[in-house]
Amino acid sequence: MDTPLNRELKDHYDFLIKATCRQKEAGNLEATTKVRLTITDRNDAMPIFTLEADQYEATISDQLAPFSDVIRVEASDADEGINGQIYYSLVNRSSDFTVDPISGTVDADGCWIRTLKHLRSGVYNLKVRSEDRTSRLFYNDPDQIQPAWTKDVVITVTESKRRHLKLLVANKLINGYRSDIEQLAAVIRVDIPPNEIEQGGPIHLDVVEDDLKHWFSLRESGNLEWQLYTVPGRLIPQQTNVTISA
């Protein structure tokens, strides 16, 4: 052949082979058979993002709930098998967003970037990477890897109309020596003007201090009321102050 074999261009070749035996005393003997040459895949193509624009862009509200889908990114790879299985990751670490390593959708194309928490308004710049499975498994073999492909993602978080929320807290006494059970530490009620209840989506409460999020859990009990419980296995020191945000 004049050119190298390339499975992405043609994955098989069919031949008709003919064998002939010439004899002086009798006629020639002939036999034919069909032969198919199948070209196996080599990891010679890289996963490329299908978006032609320079970057992905999305706009969301600062009231969007944690773990909500923000934007879907998608790459394609001309290889097959594990050479064509695509994994996604964020190049720059983020405490605000995460990306599914592989798609959870039925068609298995692309993946979702999701929020990890409620976000402040502003512009968030991410860089998403796509790479095939072979390159991840055989990263130390230069003949097996293809360079990863990256794409910029710009997410704009808009500030929603603020509601006038007031938290009414009723503290409860707990036994600081009992760590084997959960105890009701407080009941929090959200006071909001009736005309603002439907504005800006659902209301969420959260413990502000990161080190106390493992000590307490918040449960919505309905009718704009939440209950703050201690987490079993933790001894709560006296005069522990917990800040709740809405």
76-79 own/partner pairs: CB under 8 Å, 24+ apart: 76/47, 76/48, 76/50, 76/109, 77/45, 77/46, 77/47, 77/48, 77/132, 78/8, 78/45, 79/8, 79/41, 79/42, 79/43, 79/44, 79/45, 79/132, 79/134
Each residue's pLDDT tens digit, 48-72: 788 888 999 999 988 788 888 899 8
Higher pLDDT among residues 203 and 53, named by residue? 53
Q: What is the pTM of this model?
A: 0.54
pLDDT interval class at 138 (50, 70, 90): low
User: Would you say domain 48-158 falls under CATH 2.60.40.60?
Assistant: yes
pLDDT interval class at 220 (50, 70, 90): very high
C-beta separation of 15 from 34 below 8 A? yes
C-beta separation of 158 from 123 below 8 A? no
Note the pLDDT of residue 232. Answer: 92
Mean pLDDT of 210-220: 89
pLDDT interval class at 7 (50, 70, 90): low
Torsion of CA 77, 80, 82, 86, to 10 degrees: 20
Write the CA distances from 74 to 32, 88, 213, 214, 227, integer angstroms: 48, 9, 35, 36, 41
C-beta separation of 113 from 97 below 8 A? yes
pLDDT exceeds cutoff 50 at 187 = yes
Q: What is the DSSP letter of 36?
A: E
C-beta separation of 167 from 148 below 8 A? no
C-beta separation of 198 from 58 below 8 A? no
Mean pLDDT of 168-196: 89
Q: Write out the H or E segment, with its range, that includes residue 226.
A: strand 225-230
The mean pLDDT of the chain is: 81
Sequence-separated (6 or more) residues with CB below 8 Å from residue 2:
none
Name the residue among 79, 82, 97 with its Cα closest to residue 42. Answer: 79
Higher pLDDT among residues 37 and 229, named by residue? 229
Q: Which of 69-73, 77-81, 124-128 has the lowest mean pLDDT?
A: 77-81
> Which of the listed ranges 20-24, 38-42, 45-49, 215-219 does the model predict with the highest average pLDDT?
215-219
Write the CA distances from 238 to 35, 170, 199, integer angstroms: 83, 17, 39
Alpha carbon distance 225, 230 (integer Å) = 17
